[in-house]
């Protein structure tokens, strides 16, 4: 398959180069909100939406900056867009579902500093994706992030019942599981290639 | 230097290490720690951004309105990251290529925003600088440990100098993404066990 084809771009960002497990982007929410399955799914949805908006805006801003020859402002513009989108999502969730707003807690405003989102914007610019490719890429990345988060949440819900030594409880155990997941995701390499 | 200021420098080195204890700034620690050189370059770039933004945030702490402070901090950080990006590009193109997009991603390192919000915005220039330096050194310590473990096991070298005999078969997995998670998990284990032993001694 052609590496520029839309199907490959989606598969690549969804499974092969999964944002969390291969690029280590978005580790904070991955470790922080992966305790419960329901919260993880919704967090994934919120992040996917912000990614989509960020990706579309990043494409527009990049073309604008190229035309006025001010590429050094790229990073600053991207982060401003992301921050304002997150603010918008935050207000929306607060209004629609106060319970979810409580469950996500501090991690909702922290989507601003979720590297996965800025990562999508930067990578698509670096690879010179077209408008359609950028959108597909952001959806793939969002779906991949949600997938990793949901798998981890499912595993951790089961692990709560298992007895593990005191010393490994918490982040160390989560990281070990993430390592095993990452190794198993390496099996997708070559898929569609 | 008063005892309290000194304390704010010492604490982030070990007791409140940003990576091992507070679990902040994990992305770069995992992503660019596959060799000692890369991890040191990343650590230094982060230290630069951390100190510069702490200084500016501390100087502007009376000017920035409370409601928009987070946005203002992010803008300050993004400015310095852009500077760091161009600086690294000018100093060494090779390092720039190795670190790739992760230099730009220093912007979203929660550790930097956390320092600005929790400490720099409430303290004078001197104190903010000392504290930021402590956090930065603590971060470099953590990312250096990761880089050392991964390069020694995954490549059989330390800073490109071979440490094992020729018969050593490198654990390639340690350089791959999965190894990053394993190495950080292991380091957290070691860190926790040392902490627990120290606590027992105190009791």
Report pLDDT for B161: 84
Q: Which residue of B has its CA nearest to A174?
A: B185
A24·B173 Cβ contact <8 A: no
CB–CB contact A115 B193 (8 Å): no
Pairwise CB contact (< 8 Å): A21 & B193: no
Tell me if B74 and A79 make a contact (CB, 8 A cut-off): yes
**Which residues of chain A neighbour B27 with C-beta distances below 8 Å?**
24-28, 115
CB spacing of B86 vs A168 below 8 angstroms: no
Q: Which residues of B touch A (CB under 8 A)?
A: 23-24, 26-27, 30-31, 70-71, 74-75, 78-79, 81-82, 85-86, 101, 104-105, 107-110, 113, 173, 176-182, 184-185, 188-189, 192-193, 196
pLDDT at A147: 94
The pLDDT score that the predictor gives to residue A153 is 92
| Closest-CA distance of chain B to residue A79, Å | 8
Digit-coded pLDDT (tens) for B81-94: 999 999 999 998 98
pLDDT for res B1: 58
HEC letters along chain B = CCHHHHHHHHHHHCCCCCCCCCCCCHHHHHHCCCCHHHHHHHHHHHHHHHHHHHHHHHHCCCCCCHHHHHHHHHHHHHHHHHHHHHHHHHHCHHHHHHHHHHCHHHHHCHHHHHHHHHCHHHCCHHHHHHHHHHHHHHHHHHHHHHHHHHHHHHHCEECCEECCCCCCCCCHHHCCHHHHHHHHHHHHHHHHHHHHHHHHHHC
Domain count, chain A: 1
Question: Residue A192 falls within a domain, yes or no?
Answer: no
**Residue A142 located in a structural domain:** yes
Residue A192's pLDDT is what? 61
Mutate which of B20, B77, B177 to disrupt the A interface (most A C-beta within 10 Å)?
B177
Q: Which residues of A touch B188 (CB under 8 A)?
A: 171-172, 175
What gap in Å lies between CA B143 and CA B32, rounded to an integer? 9
- CB nearest to B108's CB, from A72, A118, A183: A118
Mutate to test the interface with A, among B68, B78, B153 (most CBs of A within 10 A): B78
Helix (H, G, I), strand (E, B) or coil at A38: helix
Q: ipTM value of the model?
A: 0.83
- A193 lies in some domain: no
DSSP H or E run through A34: none
Taking the CA of residue B2 and the nearest CA in chain A, the distance in Å comes to: 34
pTM of the model: 0.88
- Residues of chain A neighbouring B78 (CB-CB closer than 8 A): 75-76, 79
Residues of A in contact with B19 (CB under 8 A): none
pLDDT in tens, B58-115: 999 999 888 888 888 989 999 999 999 999 999 989 889 888 888 888 888 888 988 8
| pLDDT value at residue B84 | 93
Hey, of B188, B191, B198, which one would you mutate to test binding to chain A, going by the most A CBs within 10 A of its CB?
B188
B185 contacts on A by Cβ (under 8 Å): 171-173, 175-176, 178-179
**Is B37 exposed, middle or buried (CB count within 10 Å of its CB: 0-12, 13-18, 19+)?**
middle
- A168: distance to nearest CA of chain B, Å? 6
Q: Determine the pLDDT at residue B46.
A: 94
Domain ranges of chain B: 15-202
* pLDDT tens by residue, A148-163: 999 999 998 888 888 8
Of B60, B64, B112, B61, nearest in space to B84 by CA? B112
Residue range A17-35: average pLDDT?
84
* Residue A122 with chain B: CB contacts under 8 Å: 101, 104-105
Which residues of chain B register pLDDT less than 70?
1
In a domain, A114, yes or no: yes
In a domain, A44, yes or no: yes
Distance from CA of B1 to the nearest CA of A (A): 34
**Which candidate from B74, B113, B181 shows the least CB-CB separation from A175?**
B181
Report the percentage of chain A scoring pLDDT > 70.
Answer: 97
Range(s) of the domain holding residue A42: 6-187
Nearest chain A residue to B188 by CA distance is A172
């Amino acid at each position: 398959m052609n590496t520029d084809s839309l199907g490959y771009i989606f598969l690549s960002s969804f499974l092969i180069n999964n944002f969390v497990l291969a690029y280590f982007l978005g580790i904070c929410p991955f470790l922080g909100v992966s305790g419960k399955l329901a919260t993880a799914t919704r967090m994934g949805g919120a992040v996917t939406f912000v990614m989509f908006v960020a990706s579309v805006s990043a494409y527009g801003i990049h073309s604008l900056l190229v035309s006025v020859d001010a590429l050094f402002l790229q990073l600053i513009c991207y982060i401003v867009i992301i921050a304002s989108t997150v603010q918008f999502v935050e207000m929306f969730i607060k209004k629609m579902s106060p319970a979810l707003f409580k469950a996500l807690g501090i991690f909702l405003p922290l989507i601003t500093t979720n590297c996965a989102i800025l990562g999508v914007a930067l990578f698509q610019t670096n690879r010179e994706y077209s408008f359609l490719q950028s959108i597909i890429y952001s959806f793939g990345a969002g779906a991949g992030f949600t997938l990793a988060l949901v798998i981890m949440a499912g595993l951790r819900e089961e692990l709560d019942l298992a007895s593990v030594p005191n010393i490994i409880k918490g982040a160390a155990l989560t990281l070990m599981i993430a390592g095993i997941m990452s190794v198993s995701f390496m099996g997708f390499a070559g898929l569609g290639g | 230097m008063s005892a309290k200021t000194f304390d704010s420098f010492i604490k982030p080195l070990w007791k409140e290490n940003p990576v091992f204890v507070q679990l902040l700034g994990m992305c770069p620690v995992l992503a660019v720690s596959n060799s000692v050189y890369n991890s040191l370059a990343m650590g230094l770039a982060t230290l630069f951004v951390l100190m510069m933004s702490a200084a500016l945030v501390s100087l502007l702490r009376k000017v920035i309105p409370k409601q928009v402070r987070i946005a203002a901090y992010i803008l300050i950080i993004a400015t310095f990251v852009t500077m760091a990006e161009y600086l690294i590009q000018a100093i060494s193109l090779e390092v720039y290529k190795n670190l790739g997009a992760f230099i730009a991603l220093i912007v979203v390192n929660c550790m930097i925003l956390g320092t600005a919000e929790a400490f720099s915005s409430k303290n004078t220039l001197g104190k903010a600088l000392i504290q930021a330096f402590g956090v930065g050194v603590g971060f470099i310590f953590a990312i250096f440990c990761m880089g050392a473990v991964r390069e020694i096991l995954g490549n059989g070298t330390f800073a490109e100098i071979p440490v094992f005999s020729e018969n050593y078969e490198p654990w390639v997995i340690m350089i791959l993404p999965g190894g990053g998670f394993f190495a950080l998990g292991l380091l957290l284990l070691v860190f926790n066990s040392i902490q627990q032993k120290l606590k027992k001694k105190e009791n």
